Chain A
């Protein structure tokens, strides 16, 4: 599978104007790659994930293209997208806990969903049961109502349902946010095994929690204020991140075993700009300790080494290792 996104722009219609939630994003995902998509709330990562599957009433596709396996994905065309949904591109939504119909037995709902997509429930049932066991759910869960399941169980159920038809690309949207740490690990590992067992070919894991991505993602992409700041393989990102925002993000992560006296935890002062009327030039300018005059002009997202792209004018100067806090 291959995904090529070129200058994708998706805006939200509001009565005060268009919120430029996703304002020109370009990247690629290779076959079998798990890409983590990180950033603060409102940076556009959820918009990106959702726009690939379902544009809701308020969103509009303003520009840019999405090519999935060489075919242009008609994301603005609701009916045309139906063909791709679930089979080629699927999603584990942010609201997975409430994604199951409360007054339908889970098995019945899955069956009706599958039949409506032209899949015989009886034929796929053995595979469904196999995957349920894989994520640690008993087969009796199909006879239950969602209200009888815990949050973690519902999460796993939705994971199984969303990947049942072996989609090429899976979007996992904030699937660990509502869980405790041990459940988070279990879910992250389950995701990885889905990819390893080829239930899913590639994934975009959207989250604001970078530490999860560190465990399972092959590459990391960091977004800020509707644009991509940096994209690189995970280990490269953690060791040699070049964008000031990324470096501050990683520096703000607590390290296991490190005490407060040894290493201060720093946050990033300030707040992201309004996306209704975003500032010209680099959007991180106001909070960036390295900002210079040239930053009034928007830096391009360029590849500085194989697989590693950054949007910053001062990328050549930022060569120091990870633990020197900017």
Chain B
């Protein structure tokens, strides 16, 4: 088992280094110069231009040899310094992101966990009952084919604009100040429902269909046939099929993490929910490269951590990994 985790950690470390390096490389290889882009937006007189250029160049360390810049990048990274946000007039990027992070996490964690669990359970039931299966299958495929942001838009429109059940923008009512009162918490909750529901539904459709397919496949496996030949009740066979089908669903979760996070980001944009997604949109629109890169690194770290957690979960689900045998994702 140590070998299993060792390999995983190695890959994650390499991935992080690769991602961070790409992150650092890109502005330097893209057409145009980040400093020029910065300056073109701020209104400076032509005389002040060279001085400002020199200032920004030294600020970004662009006047130093490339290798030195790379080292500087890593040293500030490891100090938690992701630079300063241009859009938010100089606030440290790390601080800005940390402010938005709780909202995104509050959406993501429940959505991932609940949709995975509920989708699996539902898929298993659908695999058993033909009428449910026939009714659900088209719905499931539609849900999983729906782009995250569009479902968010539809839900916002139906429940928000047409029926006015929930508020369609913001993290909490604009009339309130954050405080530890029931009113505020209630406002938080009511603004949370729709984005959460949107994320949950798309995920649910995908997991349910996946589980349904896996269970059908497992029910047809040799060990299922053997048990049935020996007269085992279908409840036992189904129980085994479910446990076996969970394995690829767990690995599937790791594979989907990037997609789900992306989905959360765009969903937040739809609802103007003050999470990382909204921050991302602002960064793009204002060409705030530091903020963009900071968000990128945060997302990478988050996904890597989540991947690692899923790997731990996998060890629990597949007992073969505990025996040191080759079970588990490559």
Question: What is A's interface to B at a CB cutoff of 8 Å?
Answer: 53-54, 56, 81-87, 90-91, 93, 95, 98-105, 112-113, 116-117, 145, 147-148, 158, 161-162
Q: Are A148 and B231 in contact (CB under 8 A)?
A: no
Of listed A82, A91, A103, residue having the most chain B CB within 10 A = A103
- Of the A-B pairs whose beta carbons lie under 8 Å apart in the complex, a sample of 14, sorted by A's number, is A54-B225, A82-B233, A86-B231, A87-B231, A91-B230, A95-B225, A99-B222, A99-B223, A103-B247, A116-B235, A117-B232, A147-B320, A148-B325, A158-B226
The distance in angstroms between the C-alpha atoms of A105 and B243, with both chains bound, is 13
Would A148 and B223 count as touching, CB distance under 8 A?
no
Most chain-B Cβ atoms within 10 A of its Cβ — which of A83, A98, A99, A145?
Answer: A99
8 Å CB contact of B229 from A54, A100, A104, A105: A54
CB distance A113 to B225 under 8 Å?
no
CA distance A192 to B318 in the complex (A): 38
Closest to A54 in B: B229
Interface size on B, residues (CB 8 A): 24
Whether the pair A103, B319 counts as a contact (CB closer than 8 A) is yes
Judging by beta carbons under 8 Å apart, are B223 and A101 in contact? yes
Which A residues lie within 8 Å of B227 (CB)?
113
Chain B hits for A86, CB < 8 A: 230-231
Structural contact, B236 and A116, CB atoms closer than 8 A: yes
Chain A residues within 8 Å of B232, by CB: 113, 116-117
Contact A105 B319 (CB under 8 A): yes
Q: In the complex, what residue of chain B is closest to A96 when comparing beta carbons?
A: B226
Min CB gap B216→A, angstroms: 12
Q: Footprint of A on B, CB under 8 Å? A: 221-223, 225-233, 235-236, 240, 243-244, 247, 318-320, 323, 325, 327
Closest to A171 in B: B229
- Known pairs A87-B231, A162-B230 / 11 extra A-B pairs, C-beta < 8 Å: A56-B225, A85-B229, A86-B231, A91-B229, A93-B225, A95-B226, A103-B247, A103-B327, A104-B240, A147-B320, A148-B323
A162 vs B227: C-alpha distance in the bound complex, in angstroms?
10
In the complex, what's the smallest C-beta–C-beta distance from B306 to chain A, in angstroms? 24
Q: A101 and B244 in contact (CB under 8 A), knowing A54-B228, A54-B229, A95-B225? A: yes
Q: Judging by beta carbons under 8 Å apart, are A98 and B222 in contact?
A: yes
Contacts of A56 in B (CB 8 A): 225
CA distance in complex: A84, B243 (Å): 28
B-chain residues with CB within 8 Å of residue A158 when the two chains form the complex: 226
Count the A-B residue pairs with Cβ separation under 8 angstroms: how many? 76
Which residues of B lie under 8 Å from residue A100 when comparing CB positions?
223, 226
When chains A and B are docked, how far (Å) is the Cα of A147 from the Cα of B325? 8
Instruction: Out of B221, B223, B230, name the residue touching A117 (CB < 8 Å).
Output: B230
Closest to B247 in A: A103
CA distance A93 to B229 in the complex (A): 9
Q: How far is the CA of A158 from the CA of B226 in the complex (A)?
A: 10
Closest Cβ neighbor of B322 among chain A residues = A145
| Nearest neighbor of B246 in chain A, beta-carbon distance | A103
CB distance from A275 to the nearest CB of B (A): 23
Q: Which chain A positions have C-beta within 8 A of B226?
A: 93, 95, 99-100, 158
Q: Using Cβ atoms and an 8 Å threshold, which residues of chain B touch A148?
A: 323, 325
Give bound CA distance, A236 to B318, whole Å. Answer: 54
For A90, list chain B residues within 8 Å (CB).
229-230
User: A102: which of B223, B229, B235 is its contact (CB, 8 Å)?
Assistant: B223
For A103, give its contact among B222, B230, B236, B320 (CB under 8 Å): B320
A147 touches B228 (CB 8 A): no
A117 to B235, CA, bound (A): 12
Among B229, B319, B320, residue most surrounded by chain A Cβ atoms (within 10 Å): B229
Residue of B nearest to A84 (CB): B231
Q: Which residue of chain B is the closest to A104 with respect to CB atoms?
A: B240
The CA of A15 and the CA of B228, in the complex, are separated in Å by 26
Closest 3 CB pairs of A and B: A85-B231, A99-B226, A98-B222
Q: Is the CB of B319 within 8 A of A145?
A: yes
- Per the bound structure, the CA–CA distance linking A95 and B318 in Å amounts to 23
* Chain A residues, CB < 8 A from B221: 98
Q: Which residue of B lies closest to A81 (CB)?
A: B231
Known: A85-B229, A86-B230. A101 touches B319 (CB 8 A): no
Q: Which residues of B contact A162 (CB under 8 A)?
A: 230
Q: Pick the contact of A145: B235, B240, B320 (CB < 8 A).
A: B320
B229 contacts across to A, CB distance below 8 A: 53-54, 85, 90-91, 93
Query: Bound complex: CA of A56 vs CA of B240, how far in Å?
Result: 19
Residues in chain A near residue B323, CB distance under 8 A: 145, 148
